[in-house]
Structures are given as structure tokens and as C-alpha cells.
């Protein structure tokens, strides 16, 4: 962020404001963690702050400090609308294009509040009054840490803020293993532990909260795994019937695509999940090395994200979506071969 933008934001936040914090639809650990960390920080300065998510999030995030105060736009529309309409400032976190908020896109676009974007995805849209975008940072949560640091306020990071920031850094880095995890990330994590983030509890809350059905669904997903060695690619499918059989709940498929990527020699992985409610196939892409799934998702599946983790969607049937995917691969054969040397 430029110094001018920072000074302007600092001046804005100098007196109490009505502030709304929003994140993307189907919030993940980074979306919830960054929203709540910023919420706790701004509350410290007596602002009137409300976090509004477009819809619900998985049970394994329903312990984060402050989570109980979050409004969900899709089921609490009237209350959320009134608060958005009264907002002086709207922070938009962990996304960079209005459509990523689903049915909140219209009201955000109409709002005359000052918009402050904080996000680490590629190619931000130009909607915000102030844009703090950095694709080199592993998570929006780490950017919230840097944001607080710009105000020379890391001393205000208490156990609640530390826990929320830790949560999003942990989930967006695959527990500190992806390429985006830097020595700075580890230094910040060390500071957060010093400030009261209980790392073992946070890991337990997120990763050891499985239901029996979730593990059975994972079993089904793994038995559907297909490998295309010629293209160093593997993919998983899950139909609606399979999801129903194992009592699918939001968040149950999170991370499943990584099993496809964990195969030796595989550098490109995808999961195709039938979503009959939205009449789409929701797709997650993951890669290792230089092969950009952000570009692949943007070019072919109406999506985007990061170089090594992106998402998209398809309005074809699941079978036709998989055929489209497989048909695209030959054109990428060279790129896939050269992407990653172990």
C-alpha cells in the first residue's frame, strides 16, 4: 500500500466509524480469521464494527473468537442490509471482485461507503477506494498482521487477535508447508504464539473435528480418484448422490483435492463436486511448481485464485466437465512436464 493511502486510512480511522467487514462466499479459515482479527483490532478503537459473511461457514470454524457475532447475509438479510447501508467504511477481505460475495455483490456495489480492500489473490478489480493487495503474501491473515504493524500497533495483538491470525495463516499455508510460507510467516507465527495463540488447540479445532461420515465421504472420494500419468495429473469426482449418502455438510470436502496432489509424480490436481443447489460443478485446482492453476481456472472454468491453488465452476454435467478437463490437458503437456522438478 502506498504511504499516501496508508495515511488517508489512518486519518479516517482516527475517529469512531461505522465499519462493516465482509469476506467471500463459502468463507474459509483465512476469510473468517482475517475478518475477526480486524474486527477485534478495530473494536479496540471504539469503532462500531460488524462482520458480515455472505453465507455460513463450516463447523470447524465455529469456535474462532468473536465468531458468534458474525451476521450471515443470506439468512439475516434485513439486518445485514441496514448495517451495510449505514456503513462509513467497508473492508473487503480475502477476495478482490464483488462477484466472489455471491448475492452480496449488488448491495456492496451500490454502497457509497469508503471501501478498503485487503487481499492476496491475483488481478484485483478496481472497485476499492484503497487497495492493499499483495499476491506474495500467503494469506489475508498475514496481511492483517502487517496492516496492524503499519499502525505500530502489534502491542495491541491479544490472544483473540493472535488466534484469528494464526487460524488463517495455518489454513492458507496447508499448516505452513506451501511455497508461500516464508521465514517472515514463521516469525509472525512465533510472535502470535507469544501473544497467546494456542497452536495445538487451533490445529485440533480445525483438523481433528471430523465426523464419521466425513471420513466415509473422503473414502468415497479417494476411490473415485483417477490418474493421468501422461499429464502428471490426477482428479477426483464427487456426485450429489455420493455427498447425500454420507450426509454432506459444508466444509466436508475441504482439503480433499490435496490427496490427489500428494501422489508421487503428480503436479496438477482437480476435484469436481456436483452442487445441485446451485446447478453447477464446483471445481478446485491445485498444482506444484510453475504451472498456474489461476490461469487455467480463469481461461477455462470461469474462476481464479492463486498460482498453485484456484477454483472455478462449470455449468455442464459432471461427466461433460471431466471430459472438457481431460480434453484440455494435451495442450498443456509441455508446461506440465516442465512445471516441477523434485
Residues lying near ligand 5GP in the complex (CB under 6 A): 24, 121, 284, 303-306, 309-313
Q: How far is CA 341 from CA 161, 232, 290, 336, in A?
A: 39, 12, 10, 11
Please give the helix or strand (H or E) that residue 309 lies within, else none.
Answer: strand 309-314
CB-wise, 107 or 309, nearer to ligand 5GP?
Answer: 309
Q: How many residues can be counted in the chain?
A: 342
Among 23, 32, 58, 94, binds Mn ion (CB under 5 A): 94
C-beta of residue 253 within 8 angstroms of C-beta of residue 271: yes
Q: How far is the CB of 273 from ligand 5GP (least distance, A)?
A: 10
CB-wise, 9 or 139, nearer to ligand 5GP?
Answer: 139
Which of the choices ligand 5GP, Mn ion, none does residue 160 contact, using the CB cut-off of 5 to 8 A by kind? none
**Residue 172 makes contact with Mn ion by CB under 5 A:** yes
Among 23, 30, 51, 287, binds Mn ion (CB under 5 A): 30
Total Cβ atoms within 10 A of residue 77: 14
Q: How far is the CB of 289 from Mn ion (least distance, A)?
A: 20
Which of the choices Mn ion, ligand 5GP, none does residue 274 contact, using the CB cut-off of 5 to 8 A by kind? none
> What are 163's three cell numbers?
488466534
> What are 306's three cell numbers?
492463486
- The C-alpha atoms of residue 60 and residue 176 are separated, in whole angstroms, by 19
CB-wise, 69 or 179, nearer to ligand 5GP?
Answer: 179
CB-wise, 24 or 232, nearer to ligand 5GP?
Answer: 24
Q: Percent helix, strand and coil across the chain, each rounded to 5? A: 45, 20, 35
Sign for the CA dihedral angle at 105, 106, 107, 113 comes to: positive
Q: How far is the CB of 309 from ligand 5GP (least distance, A)?
A: 4
Q: How far is the CB of 48 from ligand 5GP (least distance, A)?
A: 28
CB-wise, 232 or 286, nearer to ligand 5GP?
Answer: 286
For 46-94, where are the alpha helices, taking DSSP H only?
77-85
> What is the binding site for Mn ion (CB under 5 A)?
30, 94, 140, 172
Amino acid at each position: 500500500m502506498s504511504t499516501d493511502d496508508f495515511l488517508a486510512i489512518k486519518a479516517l480511522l482516527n475517529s469512531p466509524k461505522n465499519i462493516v467487514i465482509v469476506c467471500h462466499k463459502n468463507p474459509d479459515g483465512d476469510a473468517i480469521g482475517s475478518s475477526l482479527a480486524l474486527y477485534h483490532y478495530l473494536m479496540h478503537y471504539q469503532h462500531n464494527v460488524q462482520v458480515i459473511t455472505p453465507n455460513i461457514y463450516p463447523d470447524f470454524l465455529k469456535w474462532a473468537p468473536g465468531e458468534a457475532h458474525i451476521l450471515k447475509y443470506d439468512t439475516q438479510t434485513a439486518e445485514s442490509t441496514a448495517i451495510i447501508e449505514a456503513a462509513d467504511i467497508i473492508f473487503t477481505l480475502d477476495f478482490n471482485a464483488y462477484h466472489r460475495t455471491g448475492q452480496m455483490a449488488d448491495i456492496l456495489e451500490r454502497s457509497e461507503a469508503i471501501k478498503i480492500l485487503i487481499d492476496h489473490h491475483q488481478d484485483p478489480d478496481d472497485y476499492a477506494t484503497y487497495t492493499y493487495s499483495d499476491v506474495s503474501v500467503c494469506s489475508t491473515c498475514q496481511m492483517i498482521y502487517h496492516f496492524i504493524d503499519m499502525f505500530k500497533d502489534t502491542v495491541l495483538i491479544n490472544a483473540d487477535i493472535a488466534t484469528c491470525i494464526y487460524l488463517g495463516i495455518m489454513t492458507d499455508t496447508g499448516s505452513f508447508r506451501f511455497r508461500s510460507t516464508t521465514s517472515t510467516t514463521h516469525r509472525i507465527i512465533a510472535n502470535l504464539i507469544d501473544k497467546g495463540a494456542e497452536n495445538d488447540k487451533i490445529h485440533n479445532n480445525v483438523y481433528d473435528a471430523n465426523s464419521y461420515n466425513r471420513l466415509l465421504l473422503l473414502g468415497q472420494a479417494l476411490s473415485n480418484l483417477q490418474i493421468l500419468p501422461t499429464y502428471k495429473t490426477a482428479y477426483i469426482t464427487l456426485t450429489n448422490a455420493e455427498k447425500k449418502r454420507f450426509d454432506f455438510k459444508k466444509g466436508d470436502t475441504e482439503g480433499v483435492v490435496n490427496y490427489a496432489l500428494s501422489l508421487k509424480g503428480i503436479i496438477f490436481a482437480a476435484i469436481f463436486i456436483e452442487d445441485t443447489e446451485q446447478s453447477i460443478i464446483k471445481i478446485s485446482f491445485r498444482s506444484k511448481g510453475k504451472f498456474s492453476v489461476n490461469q487455467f481456472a480463469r481461461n477455462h472454468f470461469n474462476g481464479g485464485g492463486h498460482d498453485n491453488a484456484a477454483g472455478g465452476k462449470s455449468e455442464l454435467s459432471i461427466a461433460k466437465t471431466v471430459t472438457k478437463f481431460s480434453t484440455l490437458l494435451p495442450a498443456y503437456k509441455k508446461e506440465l512436464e516442465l512445471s516441477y522438478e523434485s
